[in-house]
Amino acid sequence: MKFVAEIDIMPHKELLDPQGKAVSHNLKNINIQEVSDVRIGKHITLTLEAETEEAAREIVDNACRKLLANLIMETFTFELSAQE
Amino acid sequence: MKFVAEIDIMPHKELLDPQGKAVSHNLKNINIQEVSDVRIGKHITLTLEAETEEAAREIVDNACRKLLANLIMETFTFELSAQE
């Protein structure tokens, strides 16, 4: 079965997000005043083959832990959907 | 009212994704063979104040079009949730 995983990898909440601060500052420069906080991370989509949803979930979790996310600095969440 | 926008900014599907290709290759190196395609983009969360959900939607759309996304190379989607 074919699956697609939509993964969000974000910096830990406690960590400073200099990129986010810069964007927040730039938003004010283009007169978008209503935004109080900006956090920037990665969105990764994986297309994969697996026997079951559970097997797919394990593959994606493994890929995130071993390569895609730096667990010291980042957290990851993902949604999985089966493809026809 | 306070809102949080979860924004995904991805390269256009037709564009080559060299970063994605590199990650795909590295996944195979750590013996994760089941992944056939990897696409990498940005996930941005915005916290903002707005009178209504519609006003919030307009602010986020405007922020994406003017600053966050490069509309020539990227597409953006977002979800909005009101915060208590």
Each residue of B43-82: pLDDT tens digit? 999 999 999 999 999 999 999 999 999 999 999 999 999 9
Every domain of chain A and the residues it spans: 2-83
Quote the percentage of chain A above a pLDDT of 70.
Answer: 100
Q: Is residue A84 pLDDT above 80, yes or no? A: no
Q: Which CATH class is domain A2-83?
A: alpha beta
What is the CATH code for B2-15+41-83?
A: 3.30.1280.10
Q: Answer whether B57 touches A (CB < 8 Å).
A: no
The neighbour count for residue A45, using CB atoms within 10 Å, is 18
What is d(CA B11, CA A76) in angstroms, rounded to the nearest whole number? 20
Task: For chain B, give the mean pLDDT.
Answer: 95
* E strand map for B12-73: 35-49
Which residues 18-37 of chain B have a CB within 8 Å of chain A? 23, 26-27, 30, 32, 34-37
Is this complex scored with an ipTM above 0.90? yes
